């Protein structure tokens, strides 16, 4: 009699999924936001650090105005933010009309000393600039007669209208993945970039540099704030334990206040200095995918 062993049951691995992106103003938790108001406080839509019952810190998705004088821990640790006031989901007129600003340089309340463009701006940490209204950031070499497209203040009510959907498709050989986006409600007639966040980018033991999701890494919205973007990355989701693995775990859509592309970098200064997160997934994602080299 021949004894046969049944083959293990194999479940179909995920090769396609669609995600809804969430409106935000936040990259990492420090600085607390990539957007400020005219008082120099952070306008935070994202994870808010609050006191936990055990005396620690808990981070939950929400909205608040946060003081730039909030306590700053060492990189990789968290402390409760100093909350100036809460922001309700339904913004009252005064909050909705808040004009939005860039962060000054050096970046306030920042413990992530990453050089985002090491070849282009190795001196990024020594640059000093004030906080500008988003629509008045000094675009290099631009003149009024050149036809600046964004001339009116960008207000919080306009910012939170952003909507985005992402579809991820693995190639048939699983060696690459294509990220396809559709957007509505973005800032009209503006240049945006999309960055990939990888699992080691915020690792306190050795952070890797966040990079663009595709090169060229920019798209332009139309007069209604609509746009599409697509990028294909080689092996973005290597299996856990693969030597050198650094999986993509999130994507962030950023408005570019200087309205210029930075090649293989997402910006010269990042974190609200020249790019400003407006849409992303609320937490680490894409665990259902596996790609190969």
Instruction: Please check the confidence at residue 45 and state whether its pLDDT lies above 80.
Output: yes
Q: What is the DSSP string of the chain?
A: -----PPPP-PPPP-EEEEEEEE-S-SSSSSS-S-B-TTS-EEEEEEEEEE-TTSSEEEEEEEEEE-TTS----TT------EEEE--SS--HHHHTPBPBPPPBSPTT------S-TTT-TTGGG--B---BGGG---TT--GGGT-S--SPPBHHHHTT-EEEEEEEE-TTSSEEEEEEEEESS-TT-EEEEEEEETTTT-TTSPPPPEESSSS-EEE--TTS-EEEEEEEES-SBPTT-TT---EEEEEEEEETT----TTSS-SS-TTSSEEEEEE-SS---TT--B--
Instruction: Please check the confidence at residue 17 and state whether its pLDDT lies above 70.
Output: yes
Please give the pLDDT value at position 13. Answer: 81
Q: Using alpha carbons, list the distances in angstroms from residue 73 to 26, 77, 112, 194, 275.
A: 17, 6, 11, 28, 23
pLDDT band at 290 (very low <50, low <70, confident <90, very high): very high
Q: List all residues 6 or more positions away from 276 whose beta carbon is below 8 Å from its beta carbon.
A: 25, 34, 35, 102, 134, 254, 255, 256, 257
Q: Which residues pair with 226 in a beta bridge?
A: none
Instruction: Answer whether 0.85 is exceeded by the pTM.
Output: yes
Distance between CA atoms of 69 and 105, rounded to whole angstroms?
Answer: 15
> So where are the chain's domains?
16-31+99-280
Percent of the chain exceeding pLDDT 70 equals 96
**Contact call for residues 71 and 49 (beta carbons, < 8 A):** no
Mean per-residue pLDDT over the chain, rounded: 94
pLDDT band at 194 (very low <50, low <70, confident <90, very high): very high
């Amino acid at each position: 009699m021949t004894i046969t062993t049944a083959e293990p049951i194999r479940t179909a691995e995920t090769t396609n999924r669609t995600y809804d992106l969430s409106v935000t103003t936040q990259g990492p938790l420090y600085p607390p936001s990539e957007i400020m108001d005219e008082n120099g406080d952070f306008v935070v839509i994202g994870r808010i650090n609050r006191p936990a019952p055990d005396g620690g810190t808990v981070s939950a998705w929400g909205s608040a105005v946060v003081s730039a004088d909030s306590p700053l821990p060492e990189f990789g640790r968290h402390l409760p933010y100093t909350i100036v006031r809460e922001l309700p989901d339904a913004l009252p007129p005064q909050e909705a009309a808040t004009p939005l600003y860039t962060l000054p340089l050096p970046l306030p309340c920042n413990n992530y000393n990453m050089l985002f463009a090491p070849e282009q701006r190795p001196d990024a940490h020594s640059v000093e600039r004030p906080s500008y209204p988003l629509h008045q950031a000094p675009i290099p070499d631009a003149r009024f007669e050149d036809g600046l497209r964004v001339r009116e203040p960008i207000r919080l009510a306009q910012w939170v209208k952003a909507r985005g959907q992402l579809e991820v498709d693995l190639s048939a050989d699983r060696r690459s993945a294509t990220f396809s986006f559709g957007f509505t409600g973005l800032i009209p007639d503006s240049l945006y970039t999309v960055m990939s966040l990888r699992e080691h980018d915020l690792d306190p033991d050795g952070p890797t540099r966040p990079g663009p999701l595709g090169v060229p890494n920019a798209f332009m919205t139309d007069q209604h704030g609509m746009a599409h973007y697509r990028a294909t990355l080689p092996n973005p989701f290597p299996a856990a334990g693969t030597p050198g693995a650094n999986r993509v775990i999130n994507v962030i859509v950023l408005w570019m206040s200087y309205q210029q592309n930075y090649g293989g970098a997402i910006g010269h200064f990042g974190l609200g200095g020249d790019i400003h997160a407006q849409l992303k997934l609320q937490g680490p994602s894409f665990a259902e995918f596996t790609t190969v080299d």
